[in-house]
Amino acid sequence: MQFPPTPVRSTLHSPWGPMTLAAHDTALVWVGFDGQKHEVDTHAWRLDPGHPVLRQTAEQLQQYFAGERHDFDMALDLSCGTPFQQRVWRALLAIGHGQTCSYGAVSLALGQASAVRAVGGAVGRNPISIIVPCHRVLGAKGSLTGYAGGLERKIALLELESRP
């Protein structure tokens, strides 16, 4: 993944462990659980918890964790991925709160029915966890499959979203 040259970062304590948030001047570029699969090394990025995008993201995620928010409205920069990955990540944004779909359905939505494995690879490398809702993508017949943050977190996020 190719990130802008000078992102800043902060840490957020979620109910499922610490997360790192990162942004450039105007948009969010990374949200991930510390230690997750495909984690980006953000240690060289300057720590700036007061950055407006990072503050907004932290506030909205805390509201989400409390069950008070279903949608996010911060600016996102998904340009770190390949054009195909970016298309997949944008498609994930169409999966509504409390809903799920399959990797095959995402492939069909992209007009590339045979690209299920490639979609799975792109979903697994989503740079903005939770906000770009990769946790809402399930395997065939609704099976719980991989999640970069771990299946226990995927289950917890889906359970959080299933509450009235």
Q: Which are the catalytic amino acids?
A: 134
At 118, list the tokens.
């490639």
Q: Regarding beta strands 17-23 and 137-138, do their DSSP bridges make them parallel or antiparallel, or are they unpaired?
A: unpaired
Contacts (Cβ under 8 Å, ≥6 apart) of 110: 87, 88, 91, 119
SS3 121: helix
Residues across the chain: 164
Contacts (Cβ under 8 Å, ≥6 apart) of 112: 118, 119
